[in-house]
Amino acid sequence: MRCLTEKLPDSSHEVVAAISKWLTQHAPSGTIATFAALPGEPDLRPLLMLHPEYRWVFPRVHGGDLQFYQVSSLASDLSIGAFGVAEPRLDLPEVEISNISVFLCPGLAFDPCGGRLGRGKGFYDRALAAASPRAIRIGIFFPAQRVADAFTEPHDISMHWLIDGETTTRVVV
């Protein structure tokens, strides 16, 4: 994956703008799960200010699973947790995974069929498998992370949409 990360942009502006446009066009109701970016992932924090009409939740690693907590203030509600990732504080309201209507999912690479290459621990695949069947899964990434084949395995959960800042693609799953 080294060659992919060498081509990544310094700014997430285009990706944030594309997600914002998607939210405006599709107007999902309810709760949106986002993530605190690791190096090589788009920084989606501006979405909370651009779209205060949504309840935003962030994941926190708990054992082998992700739990989601409502975040209102990026400055005070997140702190560095497992794997060096910013996570929500434990005293914030926990949101049941079945109540999340949209998942913005990070990954190392995505393919045209909605396949996602994660970081190998399966946290997102387990979370998405437990989500409501009506929940929308959106792969969020930079254009250089679009690949012909993400080499998915049977346990991998596919995305419904792919947004990379250059294109927004609906995937037939």
Backbone phi, psi, residue 42, to 5°: -65, 140
Instruction: List, in order of start, the domains of the chain with CATH numbers.
Output: 2-170 (3.40.50.10420)
Per-residue pLDDT tens listing for the chain (173 residues): 444 444 555 689 999 999 999 999 998 889 999 999 988 899 999 999 999 999 999 999 988 899 999 999 999 999 988 677 899 999 999 999 999 999 999 999 999 999 999 987 889 999 999 999 999 999 999 999 999 999 998 889 999 999 999 999 999 76
State the Cα angle at 121 between 158 and 46, rounded to 5°: 65
Q: What is the pLDDT of residue 2?
A: 41
Which residue carries 């970016």 as its tokens?
Answer: 37
Tokens matching residue 61:
């690693």
Distance CA 58, CA 70 (A): 7
Instruction: Answer for the pair 134, 103: CB distance below 8 angstroms, yes or no.
Output: no
Tokens matching residue 16:
């944030």
Distance CA 139, CA 116 (A): 7
Specify the pTM.
0.91
Q: What is the pLDDT of residue 7?
A: 53
Backbone phi, psi, residue 100, to 5°: -90, 125
Cβ contacts of 14 within 8 Å, gap of 6 or more: 165, 166
